Amino acid sequence: MNDKRAIIIGAGPAGLTAAFELLEKSDVKPIIYEASYEIGGISKTVNYKNNRIDIGGHRFFSKSDRVMDWWRNIFPVQGSPSCDDKLLGREIPLSTAPDAPDPEKTDKVMLWRSRVSRILFLRKFFDYPISLNFKMLSNLGLIKIFKIGTSYIKSIFFPIRTEKSLEDFMVNRFGRELYRTFFSDYTEKVWGVPCDHIKPEWGAQRIKGLSISKALLDAVKNLFGRGGADSIDQKDVETTLIKQFMYPKYGPGQMWEEVARLVQEAGGEIHMGRQVRGLRHRDGKIAGVDVKDAKTGESYLVEGDYYISTMPVKDLVLGFDTGVPGEVADVASELMYRDFMTVGLLTKKLKIKTIPA
């Protein structure tokens, strides 16, 4: 290793992956500064009295083979069923690699898991993403279904010509009634902005291939037991409809705790409780970062040869000492960040029942 140093801000997935890659592919030493005392950013798994709670269920799924291989390189996919796989009679595509791990014997393993997400709406549970099945139709009732059907047909024959907002985008694809029923409130709650204030390009990017016809096709495939995916790649499945995914035995945080361990083992440094407060700038380049130690309250300057930031863009831009164009500073100061609340329920006993895939 030579004496070149990369200063990395944040020990979330991005910062840790960058550090790992630098150690694998270069002779630059990564030095991570992490504001909190926890590894994994919003992908962490919180350990509460030995109960591991994710900050939102995290699916390890990507259509990029490179990303999938990267994760599988850290934790290989299970080669035999876990005790709950057996208990629930799950049929999962086990890895056939000769050294594929047994989840009952090792913790360093990716499990193969099915997704269950639901929306509580009209005091009833609806599958998310919405799936067209008998339960959904009986939850909605005949009148609502009729309205959804007619408004969908209307949207086919009389579409909004110029889509000016996400609302227009969704109405054109799902009909106004379905949009009002499921998408309008949900999107506003998740993103904090009403759909008529969001540009249509956002919808095109997030749910580009999803439509009623695709949802119908998926429902028909499910009826004949061919919905979802037969393989872990699920290349032909729309991302929002992905039903199965890899999941580290002890949650997403386990992945990042392991990567942090490997980074340190290979000579990288991780400094916890150190917040980057400002960025020094000289001759068009970053010249150093100001780091504050949460325990002592002291601040000091850290210099490196390379800088990688995974901190919020707003803080990054406003943290520059000089040289930020006014327009950029204005946009950065108006970026919105949302609070997020996760409720973990601890139960004394769990009566497990099989959920149809």
Ligand X SMILES: Cc1cc2nc3c(=O)[nH]c(=O)nc-3n(C[C@H](O)[C@H](O)[C@H](O)COP(=O)(O)OP(=O)(O)OC[C@H]3O[C@@H](n4cnc5c(N)ncnc54)[C@H](O)[C@@H]3O)c2cc1C
List contacts with ligand X (CB under 6 A).
Answer: 9-15, 33-36, 41-43, 56, 58-59, 275-276, 310-311, 315, 340
Measured CA to CA, the distance from residue 113 to residue 15 in angstroms comes to 26
Say which residue the tokens 């029942």 belong to: 353
Rounded to the nearest whole angstrom, what is the least distance from the CB of residue 67 to ligand X in the complex?
Answer: 9
- Is there a contact between 59 and 73 (Cβ–Cβ < 8 Å)? no
Distance of alpha carbon 291 from alpha carbon 277, whole angstroms: 6
Alpha carbons 130 and 115: distance in angstroms, whole number: 13
Decide if 332 contacts 309 (C-beta within 8 A).
Answer: no
| Least distance in angstroms from the C-beta of 33 to ligand X | 5
Q: Compare residues 135 and 261 and give the one whose CB is closer to ligand X.
A: 261
Q: How far, in Å, CA of 89 to CA of 247, rounded? A: 18
User: With left for phi above 0 and alpha for psi between -120 and 50, is residue 31 left, alpha or beta?
Assistant: beta
d(CA 317, CA 333): 8
CA distance 354 to 357: 9
Query: Residue 126 or residue 245: which is nearer to ligand X going by CB?
Result: 245
| Amino acid occupying residue 204 | A
In this complex, which beta carbon is closest to ligand X, that of residue 56 or of residue 98?
Answer: 56
- Retrieve residue 18's tokens: 């960058």
**Least distance to ligand X from the beta carbon of 271, Å?**
9
- On whether the CB atoms of residues 19 and 257 are closer than 8 A, the answer is no
- Smallest distance, Å, CB 275 to ligand X? 4
28 vs 255 by CB, closer to ligand X: 255
> 178 near 148, Cβ under 8 Å?
yes
Name the minimum Å distance from CB 185 to ligand X. 18
Could you tell me the smallest distance in angstroms from the CB atom of residue 189 to ligand X?
Answer: 13
CA dist 160 and 351 (Å) reads 49
The number of angstroms, rounded, from the C-alpha of 203 to the middle of its chain's C-alpha atoms is 17
Name which of 200 and 288 has its Cβ closer to ligand X. Answer: 288
Taking the least distance from each CB to ligand X, the nearer of 100 and 316 is: 316
For ligand X, the closer CB: 178 or 241: 241
Give the length of the chain: 357
The two tokens of residue 312 are 């919020």
Please tell me whether residue 95 adopts helix, strand or coil conformation: coil
Name the minimum Å distance from CB 188 to ligand X.
16
- The answer to whether residues 110 and 77 touch, using CB atoms and an 8 Å cutoff, is yes
C-beta of 159: minimal distance to ligand X in Å?
Answer: 32
**Minimum distance of ligand X from residue 272's CB (angstroms):** 10
Q: Of 45 and 184, which has the nearer Cβ to ligand X? A: 45
Residue 173 vs 274, nearer CB to ligand X = 274
Cα–Cα dist 179/198, whole Å: 14
